[in-house]
Amino acid sequence: MRAGKTWLLALLLFAATLCGMCGADAVQRQCGTISLRYRDPLPQQTVETLLAGQQGWTFWKQEQTEFAAGTVHTRAEALLYAGMASDVYNAVCRYGAMPGIGDTAGCAISAALSQTLFGSEDTVGLTLTAGGTVFTVRGVFGSQTPLALLPRTDAGFTAAELPAEEQARQNPDSWLRVRLQQSGMPEPDRALFLFELSWLCRFASWLPLLLAGILLLRRALRQLRRLPPLTADLLVFGVALLAVLTLPWFFSVWPQWLIPSRWSDFSWWKQTADSLAEHLRAWLSTDVSERDLWLRQRLLGQMGLAILQGILWEALRCRSACADGRRHPEP
């Protein structure tokens, strides 16, 4: 009976971990850019210059729009964009695909809006009218919120997406300042470094493996006491050597801006903490768009799964400790 409960806890932990990893993958698809938000619309000339230069910029805004298909009329939120639709809302389409760059006649709509307008989700190739302009449906993505992605070139954009290159992930604030100077873009009111959310979700999904590694290390250290001194010393030396050899790889993967030049440099720790706090404040204080709402819901879900994983892991650890105590009672 006890073994059955242990296996049930292990299966639940495995299922929660798989859900966490899938959720982290979904968040990562939406977090490949640095999102710049502005209170006032961007100058149209700046937008046209950057789009013509093919520098990877995508511009967008969200607004309520009137939709019509045949005799059906409804109002829904629309993400008006110029550039790459996937940089604005990188959803997996159930039917078709997101409009490609330069496709000004195609749009993507949510499953909820597709059902409202056409009574079906498989509506690729059908036409609808949005804001007086006719669009052809290129893709239908899964969402219970009526939403559409519509290409526009002069929407008075209040947000911009810039793909986060590897240099951006290594030093985001400095990299963004350089790109703004090169492009002539104004300073944003808020800059959202979305890939940091992806890191957080990924860490939460791998939390059980981290806890397992800590537990295995504790058990290994206990077992060393039972080995001959020479064998124990050799094993400790091997583990230490392996740790030293893996450190260069770890620091090459870890973002450079999170690696101090000197561990005793307290000013660096304060600056880094202030920078992370500013990133968090920007994320929490920005006006919520449909994509931001989706990300916040996903982030809350990932944190909830992480808490569940921690509870399940602690239950398994306690059962394992009790079983060890029964097998090896203290004299």
Residues in the chain: 331
d(Cα 244, Cα 236) in Å, to the nearest integer? 12
Torsion of CA 171, 174, 178, 181, to 10 degrees: 150
- The lowest-confidence range among 73-87, 125-139, 156-170, 275-289 is 275-289
Angstrom CA distances, 132 to 66, 69, 102, 181, stand at 8, 12, 20, 37
User: Hey, what amino acid is at 145?
Assistant: T
What six digits make up the tokens of 254? 């870890």
pTM score over 0.75:
yes
DSSP string for residues in 113-147? HHHHHHSSS--TT-EEEETTEEEEEEEEE--SS-E
Torsion of CA 85, 46, 64, 287, to 10 degrees: 90
Q: Who has greater pLDDT, 11 or 57?
A: 57
Model confidence at 331, pLDDT cuts 50, 70, 90, reads: very low
Model confidence at 141, pLDDT cuts 50, 70, 90, reads: very high
Q: Is the model's pLDDT at 67 over the cut of 90?
A: yes
pLDDT, tens digit, for every residue of 213-267?
Answer: 777 677 777 777 777 877 877 877 887 888 778 777 766 666 666 777 676 677 7
What six digits make up the tokens of 58? 């995508």
